[in-house]
């Protein structure tokens, strides 16, 4: 058995004490190409760089160049330890600048003991990984179930599903992390084609009073393995997209869509459903909380000066 680094052990123990659901804190992957390791007193981390092709779908979901720090902090003062780690990382990046470039640090949401170090260095919480454990009851006004008919999307739905998906990207882009690129529309259509043939994610169209007004997409556990380590309770499904047309919002339509999706997800044996939402999103953040989701990991980001 290999010995666990004391910083990783202390970090993992602290996270387990504040959040038994948050996963992925028990180690650090070995550095690969473009990656490096840094260590300071009571903290260590792995650095990596994403360099995205602007024509690829994942370039919609973040800036093109993202420097990432995967940190672990122990000791009596985790804020000071994380602060020293951040300072070492930032010093190593020198005067790195340019358009469409940013820094990102993912940290367990409930480990509030360390995150002041991020705020004081200009990082803002941007993306929450939120989780709903099987059986969580929704709160708020009753869902408008009788007005909403959920049906599996089919190839003939391409135009409406692509339009609503693109509107979701445009809404999210307002917060400054997601970007609507010139390639986004084409990539959306390409990625939806197998889904609408029933070959990938589950995808439903919500008909409200007879007209298509919403979509929900969910990666079943076989496709959601990439995000499963975020939580300690499996099997995991990933709710990748949900959008309700502005004309039907605030009437319980979203709640009805979420309820229908959760019924299907739970019938498939899923223990935990995970999703991402922008922390500043004033619609989705309270909505998902009412549907039984709560943050487990928070991605803190800082854009680099464009020149």
- Rule CB under 6 A: which residues touch ligand COA? 140-141, 168, 171, 242-244, 248-255, 277, 281, 283-284, 286-287, 290
CB-based contacts of 226, cutoff 8 Å, min separation 6: none
265: helix, coil or strand? Answer: helix
Min CB(19)–ligand COA separation in Å: 21
Min CB(207)–ligand COA separation in Å: 13
Angle, alpha carbons 291-127-175 (nearest 5°):
105
How many helices (H) and strands (E) are present in the chain, helices listed first? 7, 11
The residue to which tokens 């010995």 are assigned:
3
Rounded to whole angstroms, the Cα distance separating 238 from 272 reads 9
Helices (H), the chain: 6-18, 78-93, 116-119, 158-173, 184-196, 253-267, 284-290
The residue to which tokens 């496709």 are assigned:
223
Min CB(175)–ligand COA separation in Å: 10
Nearer to ligand COA, 81 or 279 (CB): 279
Nearer to ligand COA, 249 or 303 (CB): 249
Min CB(53)–ligand COA separation in Å: 24
301: helix, coil or strand? Answer: strand
Nearer to ligand COA, 114 or 274 (CB): 274
Rounded to whole angstroms, the Cα distance separating 53 from 193 reads 21
Nearer to ligand COA, 262 or 277 (CB): 277
Tokens (6 digits) for 239: 């709710």
Nearer to ligand COA, 8 or 259 (CB): 259
Nearer to ligand COA, 136 or 283 (CB): 283
Cβ(21)–Cβ(233) below 8 Å: yes
Min CB(62)–ligand COA separation in Å: 15
Min CB(241)–ligand COA separation in Å: 7
* Number of other CB atoms surrounding residue 108 within 10 Å: 26
């Amino acid at each position: 058995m290999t010995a666990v680094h004391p910083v990783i052990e202390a970090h993992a123990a602290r996270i387990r004490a504040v959040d038994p659901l948050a996963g992925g804190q028990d180690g650090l992957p070995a550095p690969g190409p473009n990656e490096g390791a840094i260590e300071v007193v009571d903290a260590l981390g792995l650095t990596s760089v994403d360099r995205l092709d602007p024509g690829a779908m994942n370039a919609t979901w973040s800036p093109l160049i993202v420097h990432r720090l995967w940190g672990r902090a122990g000791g009596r003062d985790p804020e000071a330890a994380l602060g020293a780690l951040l300072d070492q990382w930032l010093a190593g990046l020198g005067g790195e600048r340019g358009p469409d470039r940013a820094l990102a640090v993912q940290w367990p949401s409930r480990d509030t003991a360390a995150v002041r170090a991020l705020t004081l260095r200009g990082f803002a919480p941007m993306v929450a990984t939120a989780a709903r454990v099987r059986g969580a009851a929704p709160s708020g006004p009753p869902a408008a179930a009788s007005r909403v008919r959920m049906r599996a999307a089919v190839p003939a739905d391409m135009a409406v599903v692509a339009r609503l998906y693109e509107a979701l990207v445009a809404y999210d882009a307002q917060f400054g992390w997601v970007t609507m690129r010139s390639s986004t529309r084409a990539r959306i259509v390409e990625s939806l084609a197998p889904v609408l043939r029933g070959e990938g994610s589950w995808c439903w169209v919500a008909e409200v009073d007879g007209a298509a007004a919403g979509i929900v997409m969910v990666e079943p556990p076989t496709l959601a393995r990439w995000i499963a380590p975020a939580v300690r309770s499996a099997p995991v499904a990933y709710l990748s997209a949900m959008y309700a047309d502005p004309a039907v919002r605030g009437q319980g339509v979203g709640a009805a869509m979420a309820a229908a999706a959760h019924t299907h997800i739970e019938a498939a044996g899923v223990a935990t459903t995970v999703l991402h939402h922008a922390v500043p999103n004033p619609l989705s953040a309270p909505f998902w909380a009412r549907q039984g989701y709560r943050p487990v990991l928070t991605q803190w980001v800082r854009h680099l000066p464009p020149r």
